[in-house]
Chain A
Amino acid sequence: MQGDAHPSFGLDAALAKSGYTLVISEKTDVAEKIASAVGNGRPTKGFVNGIPVFAVNSENNRYIICAARGHLYGVADPGEKRSIFPVLDLEWRSLDRISKNAGDANKRINLIRRLAKGATSFVNACDLDLEGETIAANILKYACGDAETRSLRAKFSTLTTENLTSALRDARPPLNSRLAAAGRTRHLIDFIYGINLSRALSMAVYAVRPMRGALSIGRVQGPTLARVVDREVEIMSFVPTPYWSISLDLTKDTGAHLKARYLSGTVDREARAHEIVNKCRRQEATITRIKKHASQLNPPVPFNTGDLQREAYRVFGYSPSETLHLAERLYLNALISYPRTGSQRLPSSLDYRKIITQLSKISSYATMAKWLLAGQLLPHCGPQEDPAHPAIYPTGEIPRRTLHEREAKIFDLIVSRFMAIFGKTALQETIEAVFSVGVHDFVVNGSRTIRLGWVVYYRRYLKLQETLLPPLSEGEVMNVKTVHKVEKFQYHPSRYTPSSLLAAMEVDGIGTQATRSEIIRTLYERQYLAEKAMVPSEMALTVVNLMRTHSPGILSVEMTQKMEKSVEDIRQGRVDPKSVVEDAIDYLLPSMEQMHRAQRTLGKELARAMNETVNSRNSLGVCPLCKNDSLFIVRSKKTGKRFVGCKNYSKGCSASAPLPQRGSIIPLKRCCKQCGWPIMRAWRRRRPWVFCVNVSCSSKVDGGKTNLSSSRPSITKRS
């Protein structure tokens, strides 16, 4: 940003000269962009207690711009005791009074409070969604002295200078405060469910066995976890059923080969499969039907949040939360529009030609942009709409810095998709040739691309399958060279991936575009899920099983769908927020009573599951010395340090190894090829490294004389 950075902002001068407009944004980067865009000249940047503030003089107004950095207020239990539930009397508090990890929330609130005193008007420039509106509403209410009704709303979907300038110039008083009311109600309901259910579970464990670690379950978390657990139960209790697939190897006199499969699909009886094979052996196959069909593949629709997250997982393997994080960074660099959106539509007012012309300045898009600009630009949009934001699109801004590899990949995906939506329909021809061998029919399928159309813009991420067939004609006879009968077994349903779970949540209507990926991340953090394959832990299985027995309503998708609908009704002005909260409490209380009655049963089961989960997480497999399945991560009661030890220590096994004391560590469930000791991964300050726990391992530099930290690079390389 161009501007002067002063160590001391000169706040006193600003306050003394009151009569400015206080603009509140959600993030510092956005505040900086607004200052840069609106500043008629050079904006001034300063710091008050380390918090950046921007001052701008435009043609006829003076703006002071500061950022909230997410929520500064949250819902809290005014009571002091954490063991009491149900908690139904709640209040909004500043974040520093709720959490020890509130960062600089208190400093920001104090600064906004001081700046509000000299402000004559307020502009809410937070993100235009439920969360953004809640953030702004709370700040305007609690820090700016009930300034909600006096504030103006700046609406923007991109951080381009043009968009921000017009957003501030056209800022209007909000038509109503329903969006904020909906957001605040959602927070209240989620807190009521989260705190009460989690306390009920945690206190049940504590009543049986005082142990560390809290259990959590929530309104969205519960049904999501239940989905994953149900799938796991299906997999673990799966009995494969046999079936047989039959195929023919066909040869033409010209020497061409074809493989045809049984037209009716699979055969479910062994005797029947035998019979078919016997009747087809050493016979001739006649082509009785050739069907050609041209199929159209319409261009894709622009990304909404969920579509982008799923596509990024499919092509790059990025988790939904990581994709959202990367997209947000691109948005903050004004490269793409706001990425938290449910819309698959682009506004007709958008100047597509201008965006594509600007993108053509990036060499990798120059040719494709030229093709698009030669024709008419009509986007292919999807059915989903979002009143707050359009679908995700590139703004046409050229990156001013070199994007990180992952950012660049997401940016390219969004640009490619944006270009593809203007492409022509792709055309493929499919051919189906049916061969008759006596009374049995077999089929050969082929396909070829007639026109690439939009795929040309998206070819890095999509390849059209092609199976070319030799020339065939009806009545033609081919020889059956071999008949194959293969015994197969049905496969169990696959585990959810972050992408498929996200899609399932979307279909169920649980969570929002903004929160779904966070919910999945929370399930990992709470140790309900392990590994990339989303394997639920014993704790997850037990929590879901117990909740189903004692309060099934909490896990029902219908319950959370009903709540989402109520929040939407508040937004539409159809219901009173108070009645929605009361309904939620009425639904929750019977479940709480039931859980309280079964406290001891719940506690015993949960304590067992917690122990088992911890043991399984800390288990490292077979001890290389005593050869028992007994190596695990231990924490010394005396020093509090963690190390690798053997359960047979009391029986004389001396296997032990030091571990890094800081950062996170996870066993990789595999052994070192050199010494047979377990391999682990550690993280510290976002830097992961893989190592063999054995300090004397021959794979280490200096024959194991070096300590873990100094041997990190070579170990990482070898593993």
Chain B
Amino acid sequence: MKNEKTCTICDRPRLEKSYCTFHRTAYENLKRGFKKWKYAYVSITYEDYLLRILTIKETGKWVRDVALHQMKKTELAAKVVSN
């Protein structure tokens, strides 16, 4: 059971939006990165973007953590909606 005061992904103390300072930075970069990917591929969806980001070896570890967390959240949301 994770402490409420720690980051959803690691044991560092959380800032706002459930992430620690490092995962927060990664999250912001991930959001910014999507705009660039959208410009490059035009029709890419956010889910595809997350999937592809995870397959590229240059992707930073904290970005991977956040991408995985985002995907889990989306899956969970999809399950809630379908139920």
Contacts and interface: CB of A to CB of B under 8 A. Distances in A.
Contacts of A237: 22, 25-26, 29, 60, 62-63
Interface string B47-79: 000000100101111110000000000000000
Contacts of B13: 605
Interface string B6-28: 00000111000000011001100
Interface string B30-56: 101100110111100000000001001
A491 to B, nearest CB: 5
A550 to B, nearest CB: 13
Contacts of B53: 239-240
Nearest to A545: B21
Nearest to A538: B12
Contacts of B39: 268-269
- A contacts with B: majority SS: mixed
A235 interface: yes
Interface of B: 11-13, 21-22, 25-26, 29-30, 32-33, 36-37, 39-42, 53, 56, 58-63
Contact of B60 (A239, A241, A268, A542): A239
B11 A608 contact: yes
A240 B11 CA distance: 26
Given A489-B56, A491-B58, A492-B58, A241 B36 contact: yes
17 contacts: A233-B22, A233-B25, A236-B63, A237-B26, A237-B62, A238-B58, A239-B29, A239-B33, A239-B53, A240-B33, A242-B37, A243-B40, A491-B58, A541-B22, A542-B12, A605-B12, A612-B11
A243 B39 CA distance: 11
Nearest to A542: B12
Contacts of B59: 238-240
Interface of A: 233, 235-243, 268-271, 489-492, 541-542, 545, 605, 608, 612
Contacts of B37: 241-242
A311 to B, nearest CB: 30
A236 B40 contact: no
A378 to B, nearest CB: 48
Contact of A238 (B21, B42, B60): B60
Contacts of A608: 11-12
B15 to A, nearest CB: 11
| Pairs of residues from A and B, 9 with the lowest C-beta to C-beta distance, nearest first | A239-B33, A238-B60, A237-B26, A240-B58, A236-B60, A236-B62, A237-B25, A241-B36, A239-B29
A713 B62 CA distance: 41
- B contacts with A: majority SS: helix
Contacts of B32: 239
A239 B30 contact: yes
Contact of A242 (B11, B21, B22, B40): B40
Nearest to B31: A239
A209 to B, nearest CB: 15
A235 B33 CA distance: 14
B61 A236 contact: yes
Contacts of B29: 237-239
A545 B32 CA distance: 23
B26 A236 contact: yes
A492 B21 contact: no
B8 to A, nearest CB: 16
A243 B32 CA distance: 16
A271 B26 CA distance: 28
A612 B6 CA distance: 15
Contact of A241 (B11, B26, B33): B33
Contacts of B40: 241-243, 268-270
Contacts of B21: 545
Contacts of A605: 12-13
B81 to A, nearest CB: 28
A239 B62 CA distance: 10
Interface centre among A236, A237, A243, A270 (most CB of B within 10 A): A237
Nearest to B35: A241
Given A236-B62, A238-B60, 5 more contacts: A237-B60, A239-B29, A239-B33, A269-B39, A612-B11
Nearest to B24: A237
A270 B33 CA distance: 16
A271 B43 CA distance: 11
Given A268-B40, A271-B42, A612-B11, A240 B25 contact: no
Contact of B41 (A238, A270, A545): A270
A265 to B, nearest CB: 15
A612 B11 CA distance: 10
A655 to B, nearest CB: 26
Contacts of B26: 236-237
B33 to A, nearest CB: 3
B22 A240 contact: no
Nearest to A490: B58
B75 to A, nearest CB: 21
B25 to A, nearest CB: 5
A458 B60 CA distance: 39
B73 to A, nearest CB: 18
Contacts of A271: 42
B35 to A, nearest CB: 10
Contact of B22 (A236, A241, A269): A236
B11 A238 contact: no
Contacts of B56: 240, 489
A225 to B, nearest CB: 16
A233 B11 CA distance: 17
Contacts of B30: 239
Contacts of A268: 39-40
A274 to B, nearest CB: 11
A239 B58 CA distance: 8
A233 B62 CA distance: 9
Contacts of A239: 29-30, 32-33, 53, 59-60, 63
Nearest to B67: A239
Contact of B63 (A238, A269, A489, A490): A238
A248 B9 CA distance: 46
A229 to B, nearest CB: 10
A271 B42 CA distance: 9
A235 B63 CA distance: 10
Contacts of B25: 233, 237
Contacts of B11: 608, 612
A490 B63 CA distance: 15
